[in-house]
């Protein structure tokens, strides 16, 4: 038989309230479950931080893409402008070739006329005066052509003076009308304003040669630290008559002044009208310099061809490029700008006179003879 327990627990009556024992302290497994309860909140926080980091990285990548696209657009614009200038230079070169062809044709015509005159001299055996008149007519005709096509005033003056000197060797009074017409043409040419085209072209060549050495705004470098001129002041011993408070105050003033001088060497503030000029890459700076050279070369071609409108337009464009992209505080840039202003002050719109009066006087005399 089963044995009954020695101390059986008494069964409380129905109307008696049983009091429960106070909760026991959590065991090790319960403590672990209690600590694991905030994990979902931490995971949520980490997810939010990860999302913020992803959004920030995406924003930075988009910003870098936009900057790269803008840089490429600027490069394409500079390339397009350079190509346009190259086309303009090519068109100008073609026009000059056409003018050179005209000059060559005129020269060939002059050579043909010279040969014809020589043959005529040999066939007809003209006397000395007739030979002199024919030679003078040929020289004046050539000088008139050079004067109209190339604006060679000095060459025309030399031709007229030589013709007058040749006629002065003869004492015939019939030549007085011819010499009077030649003298009028000489006075007319001397009264014209002189334009030193060769000197202006050399001045432009000098500016073109120094374009690569001109400092640009994008080449701006931070200043080097200043020489330690305050060392004697900072290391000097304070007078012994000062009190402790005065010593501390003076030391603080010296130290703060030195710190302020150092900070001023770190930061430079400058106002620039075209901020995009500071953001040029090295390749873009190279194209800007080449663009300036092309403008100056085009102005030189316009100068030699006496194209006033193209000459002014190219010089103005060159001045605008220098003001926009180059450091105008530099002496080299200021010297180049001064040279361009001096070149721009020359007036090319000069109407060249003709030598028709002298030529007509020679031809009328020959026709009468």
Torsion of CA 128, 134, 139, 142, to 10 degrees: -170
Local structure of 354: helix, strand or coil: coil
Whether 90 is in a domain gets the answer yes
The answer to whether 317 touches 309, Cβ cutoff 8 Å, is no
State the residue range of the domain holding 130. 76-194+352-368
> Which residue in 234, 232, 201, 219 sits closest to 301, CA to CA?
201
Whether 209 is in a domain gets the answer yes
pLDDT of residue 291: 92
Whether 18 is in a domain gets the answer no
Q: At 62, give phi and psi (nearest 5°).
A: -65, -40
Q: What tens digit of pLDDT does each residue of 317-337 get? A: 999 988 888 888 889 889 998
Q: Do 295 and 217 fall into the same domain?
A: yes
CA distance 315 to 296: 7
Of 42-46, 143-147, 186-190, 230-234, minimum mean pLDDT range = 230-234
Q: Do 93 and 147 fall into the same domain?
A: yes
Summary mean pLDDT of the chain: 76
Tally of CB atoms within 10 A around 75: 15
Whether 10 is in a domain gets the answer no
Q: Do 340 and 202 fall into the same domain?
A: yes
Q: Do 118 and 138 fall into the same domain?
A: yes
Dihedral angle sign, alpha carbons of residues 72, 76, 82, 83:
positive
Whether 2 is in a domain gets the answer no
Tally of CB atoms within 10 A around 10: 6
Q: Do 185 and 166 fall into the same domain?
A: yes
**First-to-final CA distance of the chain:** 180
Q: What tens digit of pLDDT does each residue of 265-322 get? A: 665 555 555 666 666 778 888 888 999 999 999 988 888 777 778 888 999 999 998 8
Q: Do 162 and 117 fall into the same domain?
A: yes
Concatenate the DSSP letters of all residues of 3-35 into one string: PPPSSPPPPPPTTSPPPPPPPPPP-HHHHHHHH
Q: What's the average model confidence in pLDDT over 18-34? A: 50
Q: What's the average model confidence in pLDDT over 5-28? A: 47
User: Which residues are registered as beta bridge partners of 326?
Assistant: 216
Whether 179 is in a domain gets the answer yes
Q: What tens digit of pLDDT does each residue of 81-101 get? A: 888 889 889 888 898 889 888
Q: Do 184 and 140 fall into the same domain?
A: yes
Highest mean pLDDT among 23-32, 96-105, 128-137, 359-368: 96-105
Q: Residue 314: exposed, middle, or buried by beta-carbon count in 10 A (0-12, 13-18, 19+)? A: buried
pLDDT of residue 350: 62
pLDDT of residue 21: 46
Q: Do 172 and 212 fall into the same domain?
A: no
Domain count, the chain: 2
Q: Do 315 and 360 fall into the same domain?
A: no
Whether 357 is in a domain gets the answer yes
CA distance 239 to 224: 34
The answer to whether 208 touches 294, Cβ cutoff 8 Å, is no
Q: Do 205 and 336 fall into the same domain?
A: yes
What's the token pair of residue 183? Answer: 């003298």
Local structure of 350: helix, strand or coil: coil
Local structure of 326: helix, strand or coil: strand
* Residue found by looking up tokens 């620039």 in the block: 272
Whether 57 is in a domain gets the answer no
Q: Do 89 and 129 fall into the same domain?
A: yes
CA distance 344 to 336: 12
The answer to whether 310 touches 302, Cβ cutoff 8 Å, is yes
Q: Do 113 and 212 fall into the same domain?
A: no
- Backbone φ/ψ region at 151: left (φ over 0), alpha (ψ -120 to 50), beta: left
């Amino acid at each position: 038989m089963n044995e009954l327990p020695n101390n059986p627990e008494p069964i409380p009556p129905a109307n008696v309230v049983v009091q429960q024992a106070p909760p026991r302290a959590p065991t090790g497994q319960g403590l672990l479950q209690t600590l694991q309860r905030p994990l979902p909140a931490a995971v949520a926080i980490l997810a939010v931080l990860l999302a913020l980091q992803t959004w920030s990285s995406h924003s930075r990548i988009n910003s870098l893409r936009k900057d790269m696209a803008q840089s490429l657009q600027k490069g394409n614009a500079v390339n397009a402008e350079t190509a346009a200038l190259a086309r303009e230079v090519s068109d100008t070169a073609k026009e000059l070739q056409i003018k050179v062809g005209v000059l060559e044709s005129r020269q060939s015509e002059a050579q043909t006329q010279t040969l014809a005159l020589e043959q005529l001299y040999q066939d007809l055996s003209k006397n000395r005066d007739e030979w002199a008149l024919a030679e003078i007519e040929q020289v004046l005709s050539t000088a008139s052509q050079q004067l109209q096509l190339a604006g060679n005033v000095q060459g025309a003056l030399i031709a007229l003076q030589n013709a007058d000197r040749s006629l002065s060797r003869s004492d015939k009074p019939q030549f007085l009308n011819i010499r009077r017409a030649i003298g009028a043409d000489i006075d007319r040419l001397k009264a014209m304003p002189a334009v030193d085209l060769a000197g202006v072209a050399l001045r432009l060549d000098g500016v073109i040669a120094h374009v690569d050495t001109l400092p640009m705004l994008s080449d701006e470098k931070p200043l080097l630290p200043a020489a330690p001129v305050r060392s004697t002041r900072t290391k000097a011993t304070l007078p012994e008559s000062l009190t402790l408070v005065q010593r501390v105050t003076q030391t603080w003033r010296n130290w703060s002044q030195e710190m302020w001088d150092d900070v001023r060497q770190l930061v430079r503030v400058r106002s620039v009208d075209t901020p995009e000029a500071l953001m040029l890459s090295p390749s873009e700076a190279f194209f800007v310099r080449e663009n300036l050279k092309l403008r100056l070369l085009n102005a030189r071609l316009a100068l030699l061809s006496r194209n006033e409108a193209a000459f002014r337009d190219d010089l103005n464009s060159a001045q605008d490029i220098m003001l926009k992209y180059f450091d105008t505080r530099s002496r080299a840039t200021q010297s180049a700008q001064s040279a361009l202003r001096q070149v721009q002050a020359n007036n090319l719109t000069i109407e060249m006179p003709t030598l028709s009066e002298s030529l007509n006087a020679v031809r009328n005399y020959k026709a009468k003879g």
